[in-house]
Amino acid sequence: MTVHLRSITILLLLVPMLAACSDSNRAPPAPPPPTVTVAKPVQRNVIDHDEYVGRFVAVDAVEVRARVSGYLDGVHFNDGQIVKQGDLLFTIDRRPFQNTLDQARANLALARSNLIYTEADLARGKQLLRDKTIAEQIYEQRAQAKRNAEASVQANEAAVRQAELDLQFTELRAPVTGRIGDRRVSPGNLITGGTTGTTTLLATIVSLDPIRLEFTFDEAAYLRYERFSSSGREVTGRGGSVIVAAKLIDEADFVHRGYMDFVDNVIDKASGTIRGRAVFANTEEMFTPGMFARVRVPGSPAYPALLIPDAAIASEQARKYVLVVDGENTAQQRYVTPGQLVGNLRVIKDGLKPEDRIVVNGLMRARPGAKVAPEEQAQADAKTSVAK
């Protein structure tokens, strides 16, 4: 009896142990499919853009030089200030030019007096010639004297006008509105004027508003632009209707808007590039001639495209891919050709269909060929707009 009870006790102790061993050999339950967020591509008309590096140049850049020689008498501006067209900048000693003008006016008065005398003398000669009192030769001499007097008056009138111009040229005024540089000559110095290359440079003025941004693009881009233009789809041209954008070196986005107004007529043989130019408003005078900037110009007409969030694109060495969830909720790898970035959306040029469901959140949890638990999301944010 005692042996029997002992056997039962041992069996009772072994049953839980055997059950535990059986449970340990059983496979653990499979984890649930990972939850991912899926959305269909956004369909929108977009424009491809090309980016170039350019430099701002002034619309008007003038070297202030004197037209007459003389001693500099005064400077009437502060270095670096904004000057208006017509503002007085420099004055040259006027006294020698005033004397020349007074002398020219006196010579003109003398010539006019002589003309009056010769006209009266010729009038008397006509009567005497009719009366046969003087010879015809004498009458011709008086007529010649009158013509000489008229020519002398005209010459002296021209001398007076030139003397008046020279006197006006002693005041150098701003030919354009803009920012003037520093004075190159101090008062009291003798400056050389005229139209030769040896004239004295007094200052420089550059206009600021509007301002131009010049850049170059290669021959292939030029051909592409011209083919679009010839087909009636203007993208970058000379008519001023193409909008471009620019950003400075410390800016993150292209926030400045301008328009194309010029494309050169020759391609540079050394570099194989052609020069383009855009015009920007500069009311705040932030842009300065010589400053670098990046410019973005339209590189194609508008065309329909598919866009997805840039974060949904993964890389496999040199190739880009996305995960597409099929009808059986299985993630499939799809290689794509990405285009430009528009806001936080990336243009997909090839590899997607409008009805595809793209994994836009949870990309690291999903694996190609594995099941997922998709959560539908509306098409990508409506706030993202295509750059105009």
pLDDT digits (tens, 9 = 90+) for 213-262: 999 998 888 888 887 776 555 555 555 568 889 999 988 888 899 988 88
Residue 97 burial (CB count, 10 A): 20
What is the per-residue pLDDT across 87-103, written as a single tens digit (0 to 9) for each?
999 999 999 999 999 99
pLDDT per residue over 100-115, tens digit each? 999 999 999 999 998 8
Residue 360: per-residue pLDDT:
84
Read off the pLDDT of each residue in 279-288 and give the average, rounded to a whole number: 91
Q: What is the pLDDT, as a whole number, of residue 350?
A: 84
Check residue 381 and give its pLDDT: 52
Least confident of 19-28, 223-232, 327-336: 19-28
At 181, phi and psi to the nearest 5? -80, -155
The structure's pTM equals 0.68
What pLDDT does residue 233 have?
56
pLDDT at 385: 37
75: Cβ contacts below 8 Å, ≥ 6 apart: 89, 90, 183, 186, 187
| Mean pLDDT of the 130-154 span | 81
| d(C-alpha 277, C-alpha 259), whole Å | 9
**Distance separating alpha carbons of residues 134 and 142, to the nearest angstrom:** 11
- pLDDT bracket for residue 187 (50, 70, 90): very high
Range among 169-183, 241-255, 364-378 with highest mean pLDDT value: 169-183
Residue 90 and residue 73: Cα distance in Å, rounded?
A: 8
Burial class (CB in 10 A: 0-12, 13-18, 19+), 275: middle
Name the band, by pLDDT with cuts 50, 70 and 90, for residue 37: confident
Quick one: pLDDT at residue 376?
Answer: 81
Q: How do 273-280 and 331-342 pair as beta strands? A: unpaired
Band the pLDDT of 154: cuts 50, 70, 90: very high
Choose the weakest-confidence range: 7-16, 70-79, 148-157: 7-16
What is the arithmetic mean of pLDDT over 368-386?
A: 65
Which residue type does 90 have? F
Q: Which structural domains are found in the chain, ordered by start?
A: 35-46+303-376 (2.40.420.20), 50-58+209-298 (2.40.30.170), 65-93+170-206 (2.40.50.100), 95-167 (1.10.287.470)
Between the CA of residue 81 and those of 88, 179, 206, 207, what are the distances in Å?
13, 6, 11, 12
- pLDDT for 199 beyond 50: yes
Q: Is 322 left (phi over 0), alpha (psi -120 to 50) or beta?
A: beta
Q: Which amino acid is at 225?
A: Y
% of the chain beyond a pLDDT of 70? 86
